[in-house]
Amino acid sequence: MRRGRMGTMAVTLLAWALASPPGTATERPDPRAVALAEATLERMGGRVAWDATRWVRWDFFGGRRHWWDRHTGDVRIEADDLLILMNVNDRTGRAWRAGVELEGGERDEALASGHEMWVNDSYWMFMPYKLLDPGVTLRWVGERSMQDGRPADVVELTFDPGVGYTPQNKYEVFVGRESGLVEQWSYWADAADAEPKFTLPWADWKPFGRIRLATSKGRGKDWNIAVPESLPRSVFTDPAPVER
């Protein structure tokens, strides 16, 4: 893991909008792993429901808050005294620190950090929806028990070179045999490492609109998730506080 420029908690900066083109995976798809990924996507609501979900809000481990318009790429990020309004597709936008708008190099640094925050925090929030992304290699590694003793199918995730900020990462996701949902994951900073840096749950799955999301990722923090039917455009253009 490495830390964002703004001194926030350690992050795993993996791909979201930086996926490599289709067909570049270095290994042939593992049919069993792909089938598990497809099945868990359906358990979460399915591709059509996910693609139709436009606005999402969440607090990363109860801290910095994100609003995201998935259809336009516009985001609002509140991180301590830093406010960022930007588009994550073209990485343009504005930033304020302690209410003072940043210009020049300070603005550019804040926008770069904002993009890193969003890539990291959105992966923590939505990873199971991204199992079938281009540039992701899935491999079924067997059945194991999760930390609470329940059985799960374990799928390994590795990444093509050039995917995201840290393509050397590796994950194992545990798909619960009973639920068909991702209920645990392990993270390696480098795929060659002998042991993972952490193993944490994906728990308390709940419906939000047409999709389902895990509301607990460990560490006892409230993610304050919301999937509103609409958001005013001002959320992404106006630095004035948003009613919580």
Which CATH number fits the domain that encloses residue 98?
Answer: 2.50.20
What are the b/e assignments for 109-148, b being 16+ CB within 10 Å? ebbebbbbbbbbbbbbbbbbbbbebebbbbbbeeeeebee
Task: Quote the radius of gyration of the chain (alpha carbons, Å).
Answer: 18
Residue 229 lies in a domain: yes
Q: What residue numbers bound the domain in which 53 lies?
A: 31-236
Number of compact structural domains in the chain: 1
pTM assigned to the model:
0.87
Kindly report, residue by residue over 170-225, the tens digit of the pLDDT: 999 999 999 999 999 999 999 999 999 999 999 999 999 999 999 999 988 999 99
Average pLDDT over residues 74-88: 97
Average pLDDT over residues 153-166: 89
- pLDDT, residue 25, reads 42
CB within 8 Å of 143: residues ≥ 6 apart:
151, 152, 153, 154, 177
Residue 10 lies in a domain: no
Report the DSSP pairing between strands 182-188 and 170-176.
antiparallel
Mean pLDDT estimate for the chain: 90
Residue 54 lies in a domain: yes
Contact assessment for residue 201 and residue 216, using Cβ atoms and an 8 Å cutoff:
yes
Handedness of CA 212, 179, 174, 199 (dihedral sign): positive
Kindly report, residue by residue over 138-153, the tens digit of the pLDDT: 999 999 999 999 999 9
Kindly report, residue by residue over 9-68, the tens digit of the pLDDT: 333 444 444 333 333 444 578 999 999 999 999 999 999 999 999 999 999 999 999 999
Q: Could you count the other beta carbons within 10 Å of the beta carbon of residue 67?
A: 20
Residue 165 scores a pLDDT above 90: no
Residue 241 lies in a domain: no
Residue 74 lies in a domain: yes
Residue 125 lies in a domain: yes
Residue 128 scores a pLDDT above 60: yes
**Amino acid identity, residue 237?**
T
Interatomic CA distance for residues 106 and 193, integer angstroms: 36
Average pLDDT over residues 233-238: 98
Residue 7 lies in a domain: no
Residue 82 lies in a domain: yes
- pLDDT, residue 3, reads 33
